[in-house]
Chain A
Amino acid sequence: MFPQQVLPFGYFFVYAAFGISGFVLGWVAQRGNYCFVNAMSSVFTTKSYYRFGGLLILFGVSSLLTGLLVVTGVVPAVDQYYYNYFSGWYVVVGATIFGFGATMAGGCNLSMLYRAASGYVQNMLELVGMMVGTYVFAVAIWPFQSYTMANGILSTKLGAYTEYIPYDLFHSISQVSVGVTAVALGFPLVALGILLQRKTRSTRPLAAALAPTAGASLAVARATSAGLGPLPSVGLPQLRLGLSGAKEMLLLRRPYGANLSSLLLAGALALVFVAGAGYTFNYLVITSSDGGRFLEYILMPFGVNLALGTPWYNDALPILDPSVLMVIMLIVGAFMASLLSGDLKLRIPRQKKRLGIGFSGGILVGIGVRTALGCNVGLMWTSFAQLGYDGILFLFAMLLGVWIAVRVQRRLV
C-alpha cells in the first residue's frame, strides 16, 4: 500500500508547510533553549529531570496527536507507518555515538542549528564537523551497513508496517488498534514527564532549578557560567504563567518554558504530518540528512556532484526534499528570534580547545546520525509520532552516549 495524499494542493503547499514548520521550530527552540542533549545530560549532572520530562511530554503529545489524526480519519494509517525505517544494530550504535558526540560538541541536531544561527561559533563548527562526518559515513560505513540491512544481519528487512506498533501488537492497522496504541504509548509518556518534572520541583528550590547549570553537562555548565560555552543560561520552569508573563514572552523578554515549547513543537510536527501525507516523508527532519546534503550543495559551485558517484549520496539521499526549506527557515526563525530578543551575538569560546571539541564532536554527530538512519528529531521524536519502536531504542542508546560523555568531561575538567 502506498501513501495517500490528504491535501490535494501540490508541492508548493507541501514545501510551504515545511517552511512554516521550520520557522516555528527555529523560533520556539531558540526562545525555549530547547536541546535534547541538554535535557539528557542534566539528568546525570545536576539530577534535574525538568527538561527531560519536557522531552517525554513532547514524545507523548506527538504520538497522541498523530494517533488522533489517524483515528479520526484525517490521515490514513499508511501515511503514519510508511516511512518507518529499518531497525537494527545501527540504531543502537549510531545513537550512542551521536549522544556522545553531541554532548561533547555542545548541542543536538536541533540546538546545533539554532545556536549556530544565534552566533555560537562552537556550534557552527559542529555543523561543519557534521558534514565531514556524514562524508566519512558515506564512504566508510554505508557500504557495509547497507549490506547488513539488505541481508537482515542484526537488522529488520522491511520497515514500514512491520515496525508499526499497532500492527506488531494487534496484527491490524485499524483505527481502533491505532487509537489504543497511541493512548497506551502517549499517556504514560506524558504522565511520566509530568511526574519527573514534579519530582525535580519538589526536591529543589526554584532558584536552583533556574540555575544555568540546569541543563548543561558539567564542563559545559562551567563554561556557561563564565559566559563562554555553547549552552546559554536557561530560564527553566515557568511555574505560573499569568497575563503579564505571556505578554513578556510575546515581547521576547522572557524565554518559553519547556512544556510550552514542547506543545508548540508538537503542533509544528502535526502540521507537516497532514500537509506532507502522500507526498513525502511527512515528519520533521532536521539536519541528519541535510548535514550531508549541505556538503553536497557547498561542493556544487566547484563542479563536484556527490550524487553522481559517492556511496549513500548516489542512492539514499534525494538531491532535494522539503527538509531543505525547513532547515533554511529554521535558521531564519532562530536568527530572527535571537535578533529581536537581543540574544544575537558572535560568541567565540575563550578556551580555543572548545572549537576543536565542537568540530570533532560534530564529526561524531555526523557519523552517529547517519549510522542510526536519523537524528534525535528525524528518528527518535519522529518514531514516537510514527508509533514505531526505533525511538525507544534510540532514546536509551542516546542516554548511554550522553552518560559516557558526561563521565569523560568530568575527567577532562
Chain B
Amino acid sequence: MRGQATAVRPRYGRLVAPLILALFAVGWYQFSIVYIQRANDQLVANNNLAVYVSVQQVQGYLAALLDATLLTISAALIAFAYFFVKLVMAKSRGPPSPAG
C-alpha cells in the first residue's frame, strides 16, 4: 500500500544515478571542446572539406551544449536532493518491516 512507507527499502541507486548523469553531461561537454574541435581542425589541415563543419556551426553546437549541460546538471542536482531527502525520511522511519 502506498501509505506504508516503512515497508519500502531505501534505494541508493536513485542517489547515484543523478550524479552519473551530471558526470556524463560534464564529460561530454569537455570531450566536445577538446576532441571534436581538434578533429575538425585536422580535416582542414588535411584538405578534407567533405565532412568538415563550419566554425559557426561548431560554435553554435558548443553554445547550445553549454546551456544543455548546465540545465542537465541542475536537474540532476535537484533530483539528487529530492531522493536524498526521501532516503533520509525513509531511514528516520526505521528499518523495513519483515513483511516488506
Contacts and interface: CB of A to CB of B under 8 A. Distances in A.
Tell me whether chain A's interface is mostly helix, strand or loop, or mixed: helix
Interface in B13-31: 13-14, 17-18, 21, 24-25, 28, 31
A307 interface: yes
Contact of B64 (A296, A300, A325, A332): A325
Nearest to B65: A325
B51 A301 contact: no
A10 B53 contact: no
Interface stretch (A53-61, A84-92, A195-203, A308-316): A308-316
Interface in A276-327: 296-297, 300-301, 305, 307-308, 313-322, 324-325
B48 interface: yes
B21 A335 contact: yes
Interface residues of A, number: 36
Contacts of B65: 15, 19, 325, 328
B35 A325 contact: no
B13 A320 contact: no
Given A297-B35, A315-B51, A325 B61 contact: yes
B26 to A, nearest CB: 12
Given A319-B36, A340-B79, A344-B17, A12 B52 contact: no
A308 B57 CA distance: 20
B56 A316 contact: no
Among A10, A12, A316, A322, chain B packs the most CB atoms within 10 A around the CB of A12
B95 interface: no
A335 B42 CA distance: 34
Given A11-B56, A297-B35, A325-B68, A319 B79 contact: no
A12 B57 CA distance: 8
A107 B52 CA distance: 32
A329 B71 CA distance: 11
A324 B61 contact: yes
A308 B43 contact: yes
Interface of B: 13-14, 17-18, 21, 24-25, 28, 31, 35-36, 38-40, 42-43, 46, 48, 50-53, 56-61, 63-65, 67-68, 72, 75, 79
27 contacts: A10-B56, A11-B57, A11-B59, A15-B63, A19-B64, A19-B65, A296-B39, A300-B35, A300-B36, A301-B35, A307-B39, A308-B43, A313-B51, A314-B51, A316-B51, A319-B52, A319-B53, A320-B57, A320-B61, A321-B53, A329-B68, A332-B24, A332-B25, A332-B68, A336-B79, A340-B79, A344-B13
